[in-house]
Amino acid sequence: MNLTILGCHSATPRTSAHPTAQVLEMRGHLFLIDCGEGTQVQLRKLKVKFSRIRNIFISHLHGDHFFGLVGLISTFRLLGREVDLHIYGPEGIKEAIVLQLKLGNSWTNYNLIFHELSSKSPETLFEDEKVSVETIPLDHRVYTNGFLFREKPGERKLNLDAAVKSRIDNSYFSKAKQGHDIENRDGVLIKNETVTHPPDPPVSYAYCSDTAYLPKIVDQIKGVTVLYHESTFLESHQHLAEATKHSTAKEAAVIAKKAEAGTLILGHYSGRYKDLEDFRREAQNVFDNVELSEDGKTFKF
């Protein structure tokens, strides 16, 4: 699982502070999460093969998470895209995009499929044999969802030495990886555990932005490998966090601790702070494994 931060700042785009957008690579999928203004240029700058994106998840319709979407959709058209593009986001997203394409008489020549969200309970948006994606309903000034990306357990790994030693024919290797016991060349049934190792544990990623401190999400994201949780403010501006329905670094860390997350990534910083290490320090008083998102940074898990 690779997570590339295209932008991790709140409010207005600035010369060296991009609004929110992330690319998550998981089991061959390339998911785009949020799409602030300038996202398409960040994708180019970071050399992401963005034609591979087939699913875009928009948390909410504030500009710093959404204003780059119509431009990206238009660019896909200009680049001759043919494959379907699925957009998941709050009700109204379709009207906003379609109106702008209509005004420019710039309809896409690929299928643009909107999945408009309005539920206040978690729902599964995407599922195949490798991955599932569900909403994490959040608490912000407008209707907002986070997203929980989960790998499904993969195949077991063949222990080639053991398989040869156990006289298992090559043609049964895939069956062994699927977890079955196998009859060997001598007609003896070999226990699966003898010739395979367990698969890598499936990883998961919870994206929670933007939101006020919301402990009720903990059950849903329990044990998540990586939690991205917004931390627009430090605790010294707790009153601003409450007024604007954002979180502090400390609150993000409390959620990570309660959820027993593997790693916490902070982001969506307010522009008022000079030293982002202050976010890490504040969070680490509560939870050890804290990373800071940075525009252009890739995390590998």
Q: Which is nearer to a second copy, 79 or 189 (CB)?
A: 79
Q: At residue 9, what is the residue type? A: H
Q: Which of 64, 181, 200, 278 is catalytic?
A: 64
For residue 136, give the nearest of 118, 150, 152, 120 by alpha carbon.
120
Q: At residue 11, what is the residue type? A: A
The residues in 19-48 that bind a second copy, with binding defined as CB under 8 A, are 37-38, 40-41, 44-45
The residues in 169-188 that bind a second copy, with binding defined as CB under 8 A, are none
The nearest distance, CB 58 to a second copy, in angstroms, is: 11
For residue 148, give the nearest of 125, 166, 175 by alpha carbon.
125
Q: Is 232 near a second copy (CB under 8 A)?
A: no
Return the range that interacts with a second copy (CB under 8 A); candidates 13-21, 145-153, 226-234, 280-288: 13-21
- Binding pattern for the stretch 58-97 against a second copy, x by CB under 8 A and - elsewhere: --xxxx--xxx-xx--xx--xx----------x-xx-xx-
CA 251 to chain CA centroid, Å, is 20
| CB of 8 closer than 8 Å to CB of 295 | yes
> 87 to each of 143, 189, 209, how far by Cα in Å?
16, 49, 17
Beta pairing class for 124-127 and 131-137: antiparallel
Q: Is 243 near a second copy (CB under 8 A)?
A: no
Q: Which of 142, 160, 164, 188 touches a second copy (CB under 8 A)?
A: 142
What is the C-alpha to C-alpha distance for residues 122 and 263, in angstroms, rounded to an integer? 22
Q: At residue 26, what is the residue type? A: M
Q: Which is nearer to a second copy, 29 or 60 (CB)?
A: 60
Q: Which residues contribute to the annotated binding site for Zn(2+)?
A: 60, 62, 64-65, 140, 210, 268
Q: Is 99 near a second copy (CB under 8 A)?
A: yes
> 106 to each of 77, 78, 88, how far by Cα in Å?
8, 10, 21
The nearest distance, CB 101 to a second copy, in angstroms, is: 9
Q: Is 11 near a second copy (CB under 8 A)?
A: yes
Q: Is 126 near a second copy (CB under 8 A)?
A: no
Beta pairing class for 21-26 and 29-35: antiparallel
* Site residue total, a second copy (CB under 8 A): 37
Catalytic residue at 64? yes
Q: Which is nearer to a second copy, 15 or 121 (CB)?
A: 15
What is the C-alpha to C-alpha distance for residues 280 and 283, in angstroms, rounded to an integer? 5
Q: At residue 231, what is the residue type? A: S
Residues in the site for a second copy, rule: CB under 8 A?
Answer: 11-15, 37-38, 40-41, 44-45, 60-63, 66-68, 70-71, 74-75, 78-79, 90, 92-93, 95-96, 99-100, 103-106, 141-142
